[in-house]
Amino acid sequence: MRDYDLVRDRGFFERPPGRGWLASWIFSTDHKRVAILYLASTGAFFAAGAAAGLLMHLELLGPGRTVMDARTYGQAFTIHGVVMVFLVIIPAAPGVFGNFLLPLMIGARNVAFPRLNLLAWWLHVAGGALVAFSLVSGPGAADTGWTFYVPYSLLSGGGVALPLFAVFVLAVSSMLTAMNFITTVHGLRAPWLGWFRLPLFVWSVYAAAWVQLLAAPVLGAAALMVIAERYLGVGLFDPAVGGDPVLYQHLFWIYSHPAAYVMILPAMGAAAEIIPVFARKAAFGYRAVAYSSIAMALLGSMAWGQHMFVSGSSQTAGVVFSLFTFLAAVPAAVMVFNWAATLHRGSVVVETPLLYALAFVFLLVVGGLTGLVLGALSLNVHLHDTYFVVGHLHYVALGGAVTGFLAALHYWFPKIFGRMYSQRAANAALAVLFVGLNMLCFPMLVLGAEGMPRRYYDYLPRYHDMQVLSTVGSWVVAAGLLFVFANLARALSGRGRRAEANPWKAATLEWKTTSPPPEENFKRPPAAAGGPYDFRSIDLE
Amino acid sequence: MTPDVKDAAMSRDHGDSKLGMWLFLASVALFFAGPFLLFAAYGYRYPGGFAAASAELDVVLGAAGAMALLTGSLAVALAVGAVRRGRGARAVLFLYAAALLGFVFLGVRAVEWAGYLSRGLRPGGPALAAAPGGKAVFFGLYFFITGLHALGVLGGSVLLLVMAAMVRRGAAARPGAARLEKTGLIWHMASIILVYIYQLFYITG
């Protein structure tokens, strides 16, 4: 019997002596507590962003004005985008699972820079506060869209400086986290843990961290430039003084396209952890998947012009960016095929994390394929700025990143909280969510192909049926998410049974300590083990 | 061999915090890369306007500022060497000198800006708006980049004073040198960016 099976205390949830309860959380440098802080903050921001989305869909239930006027609708989709992209999806998976798992998976006690880690969370909260404040201060919420394109962001009556400065602050926050993760993986691995014995989740978070570190500063500079131009008259993008608005688009997308890969890589890493465990079979093509994480980050960083095919760039530029868009899909496909090969002829155990991971893979594939459709130059001419783009991005963001986050949550929940949830309820919630996601997003693809533009407050009567279907889908998604979180909350409330150290019989290092782990992670340093997917030795224990 | 459980303290000894500093500096480089990219794009589009605008800049003052900053870098490097050899007092003097040179640089920059603004080269002002294509954008980029750079130099100078205080307090043992060396890297980064600023705006423009 392993010693970490016997421990029945609250692990890192135990309050360290000499501190009040609140201070022990919000001033904690324990990476596990910081992860929980991120869970709380991104969860709150997700609820706010989802509320904006639901309101938007309520407006789209009928043509013409339903519940709000056109300008308010513009503010709603701006807030929805800013909150979801910068406050939820980009920080959530690295902030929660990267923070919690990276040191555990490499056998370390903490990240390389624990205080910078806490600072990054505080900056995350500050960014959220700035966005919230922008809604109620002076000129009110911005209505430029989350992309803040010039020239409208220079002219709009809404308040643009606060959300743009929030974007800058959030860029700094995510850069600190990225710097932390890269240094942690390089420097704090257990002595026997070489690069190619790392769990694949570490590879994906590491690749995402590089992208975030190098690309986010470009967005930060662009945000400051727009603020300077709007409020100090520093002419950089204004055509009246020789500026070029398209150059803003370049700077914006040089970050925001690779950011999409930052959003999806950790989710793919989580799937890469879950699938082998429930196939009871080592990850197929480990090196291919590891290299693919790096390749996706690299190639995705060179494909930003895919958002600008119809902005007046040359055909040569279009061809180059379209090529990189297609190339970036290759490593993604490699990962999907490797997951399938892992399942093939495995002794598959169908439990909740696997079901969420499979839903993730399906939705990711739909999102990825629709991305290729958009990456084809000729099709892009018709589909750019239509609902097809909205459908694509929600398949990858909601179907990919969020479902992947939920898969990771259901997989690592017993480790983090020391409690087990009801799998039946979780599976039922997934079914509701899956149906809702497709009801929400698939009509968008149809609407876009039929020509409905995005960000439009009103629409022609022939688009009505699909909009109704999509709106009902948004309610089903909301119901599914509430169901998911109610189930997990119930498990936390004390009604869930205690989880053992390794309920899924996985082989990575985080499962070799108690659930939840103690503050120092490992009561005894983890000894050199088999590989991260060596299940035979686990089954023999 | 007993495997260790590594923590932050061990990582400092193993030089990982230097890796962290280099990563931070990479992000600073990328931060300025955006505006420099705009410089390249607009410079290509408005060669005449950029040349005319560059002629308005005071090459001598710009050079003076650059000399101050680069000499400050030398002082920082000498300070690190002094700490390594246990010469704390000398290191403190070098750090004070570097910080002073940083403030000298800021003073020169302020004088430059005052000159340009008094000549009506104000972003958003009528003189630039009426100027031929490119001049307004040149000065927009100039003020934006040099403004942010100056903020960085200000922060760096303050950091050097903080470092000087730490060295004086006796944090002059080896770990102190590592911390000073990392702070020095920030200063050198500011110098490198200034070299690019001077070269692009004052000379090739």
pLDDT tens track for A505-540: 999 999 999 999 999 998 887 887 788 999 888 876
Residue A497: the pLDDT is 87
Arithmetic mean of pLDDT, A256-269: 96
Q: Return d(Cα A101, Cα A94) in angstroms, integer.
A: 10
pLDDT: is B173 or A430 the higher one? A430
Residue A272 belongs to what H/E stretch?
Answer: helix A245-279
Lowest mean pLDDT among A79-88, A214-223, B119-128, B152-161: B119-128
CB-based contact A221 B125, cutoff 8 Å: no
Q: Closest approach of chain A CAs to the CA of B145, in angstroms? A: 10
What residues have CB less than 8 Å from A83, skipping those under 6 apart?
A45, A48, A49, A52, A128, A131
The pLDDT value given to residue A228: 93
Give residue A59's pLDDT. 95
Chain B residues near residue A213 by CB distance under 8 angstroms:
23, 26-27
Give the pLDDT mean for A115-134. Answer: 97
Mean pLDDT for the stretch of residues B43-69: 93
- Neighbour tally for B62: CB within 10 Å: 20
Q: What is the mean pLDDT of residues A50-77?
A: 94
Confidence at residue B7, expressed as pLDDT on a 0 to 100 scale:
53
pLDDT band with cut points at 50, 70 and 90 for residue A275: very high
User: What is the pLDDT averaged over residues A195-218?
Assistant: 96
Q: What per-residue confidence (pLDDT) applies to B176?
A: 62
The structure's pTM equals 0.94
- Mean pLDDT of all residues in A353-366: 98
C-alpha span between A141 and B104 (Å, rounded): 42
Average pLDDT, chain B: 87
d(CA A527, nearest CA chain B) in Å: 7
- ipTM rounded to 2 decimals: 0.91
Measured distance CA(A182)–CA(A207) in Å, rounded: 9
Biggest distance spanned by C-alpha atoms of chain A: 75
Left, alpha or beta for B194 (phi > 0: left; psi -120 to 50: alpha)? Answer: alpha
* pLDDT, greater one: A386 or B204: A386
Q: Which residue among A108, A217, A229 sits closest to B5, beta carbon to beta carbon? A: A108
Can you read off the two tokens belonging to residue A540?
Answer: 């023999």
Mean predicted confidence (pLDDT) in A31-47: 97
Cα dihedral B72→B76→B81→B87 (10° resolution): 100
A120-129, A152-161, B73-82: the lowest-pLDDT one: A152-161
Whether A263 contacts A207, CB under 8 Å: no
Mean of the per-residue pLDDT values of chain A: 94
SS (H, E, C) A283-337: CCCHHHHHHHHHHHHHHHCCCHHHHCCCCCCCHHHHHHHHHHHHHHHHHHHHHHH
pLDDT tens sequence across A318-339: 999 999 999 999 999 999 999 9
pLDDT band for position B181 (cuts 50, 70, 90): confident
Residues of B in contact with A180 (CB under 8 A): 20
Confidence of residue B3 (pLDDT cuts 50, 70, 90): very low
Model confidence at B1: pLDDT above 50: no
pLDDT at B5: 53
Query: Using the 8-state DSSP alphabet, how is residue A386 labeled?
Result: B
* pLDDT computed for residue B173 by the predictor: 52
- Interface A–B counts its CB contacts (< 8 A) at 159
Selected for mutation to probe chain B from A173, A192, A241, A248 (highest B CB count within 10 Å) is A241
Cα–chain center distance at A224: 24
Q: Determine whether the interchain pair A213/B137 forms a contact, defined as Cβ–Cβ distance below 8 Å.
A: no
Across the interface, do B5 and A228 touch by the CB < 8 Å criterion? no
The pLDDT score that the predictor gives to residue A295 is 97
Contacting residues of B for A184, CB less than 8 Å apart: 11
Token match 């056998």: residue? A107
| pLDDT of B15 | 63
- Helix, strand or coil for residue A18? coil
- Examine the pLDDT at B6 and tell me if it is beyond 60: no
Is the predicted pLDDT of residue B131 greater than 90, yes or no? no
- Residue A494 Cα to chain centre, angstroms: 29
- Minimal C-alpha gap between B90 and chain A (Å): 31
A486: which residues sit within 8 A by CB, 6+ positions away?
none
Q: Give pLDDT, residue A525.
A: 79
Give yes or no for residue A388 having a pLDDT over 90: yes
Burial of B45 (0-12, 13-18, 19+ CB in 10 A): middle
Say yes or no for a CB contact (<8 Å) between A225 and B34.
yes
Position A1 pLDDT exceeds 60? no
Residue B4 has pLDDT above 50, yes or no: no
pLDDT-derived band at A358 (thresholds 50, 70, 90) equals very high
Q: Which among A241, A256, A276 is positioned nearest to A506, based on CA atoms?
A: A276
Q: DSSP letter at B44?
A: H
A498: β partners: A419
pLDDT at B106: 97
Shortest CA gap A444–chain B (Å): 34
- For residues B68 and B124, the model is more confident at B68
Residue-wise pLDDT tens digits, B83-117: 888 888 899 999 999 999 999 999 999 999 999 99
Question: How far is the C-alpha of A441 from the C-alpha of A394, rounded, in Å?
Answer: 6
pLDDT of residue B38: 95
Given CA atoms A63, A68, A72, A75 in this order, what sign does their dihedral have? negative
**Positive or negative CA dihedral for A47, A49, A52, A57?**
negative
d(CA B162, CA B168): 10
